Amino acid sequence: MLEDLVQKNRSYRRFHEDVPVGVATLRELIDLARLSASARNMQPLRYILCTDRDTNAAIFSTLAWAGYLKDWPGPVEGERPAAYVVVLADTTNVIHNYVGVDHGLAMQNILLGAVERGLGGCIIGSIQRDRLRKTLAIPERYEILVVVALGAPKETVVVDEVGLDGDIKYWRDTAGVHHVPKRSLDDLIIAELK
């Protein structure tokens, strides 16, 4: 079950934009994030949820998509995310500016929860942060960490094994299938101490 969800939890970048993701669903996903581990249990993460069409468009304009796909500027209208979660750190709620890996854990819970609900998403770290801050009137005390784009996926993503050339760049075939090369298990485990 978990293995299946993890396998299906790929980065999706094309969506059925007309399939709504309700605020209630986003709240359920944040409730999963809420329960993730947190360094010193400081729980510094805060979230802005957006399902509003116009605001979605404004958020979209601050994001960069799939850097390796040089000829693809990102999803066209109609294939854009139906919802966004902006992940913030409350800088008044961290010690020595240390958020650690809190947002990684939280996002994984959010995305696994999305996949379980037939949705999917993509973590976006390449953000014009100043523009996004202005657009959403985010107070300075909140650091913008990442944006999670969500929706009903409209693309097939498959996992391949990294080839002999060692190339880890994802790519899209002529049928539009998105391929993600992953390193093999044996390439990752550098020691097994028994």
Q: Which positions touch ligand FMN (CB under 6 A)?
A: 10-11, 13, 64-66, 122-126, 157, 170, 180
- Shortest distance (Å) from residue 62 CB to ligand FMN: 11
- Shortest distance (Å) from residue 193 CB to ligand FMN: 28
- For 166-187, b where at least 16 C-beta lie within 10 A, e where not — what string? eeeebebeeeeebeebeeeeee
How open is the CA angle 95-59-12, to the nearest 5 degrees? 90
Residue entry with tokens 């939890």:
9
Of the pair 7, 91, the CB lying nearest ligand FMN is at 7
Measuring CA to CA, which residue among 136, 125, 137, 155 is closest to residue 63? 125
CA dihedral 33, 39, 40, 44 (to 10 degrees): -50
Residue 23, token pair as written in the block = 């605020």
Of the pair 26, 123, the CB lying nearest ligand FMN is at 123
- Shortest distance (Å) from residue 24 CB to ligand FMN: 26
- Shortest distance (Å) from residue 117 CB to ligand FMN: 18
Of the pair 57, 64, the CB lying nearest ligand FMN is at 64
Of the pair 22, 167, the CB lying nearest ligand FMN is at 167
Residue type, 153: P
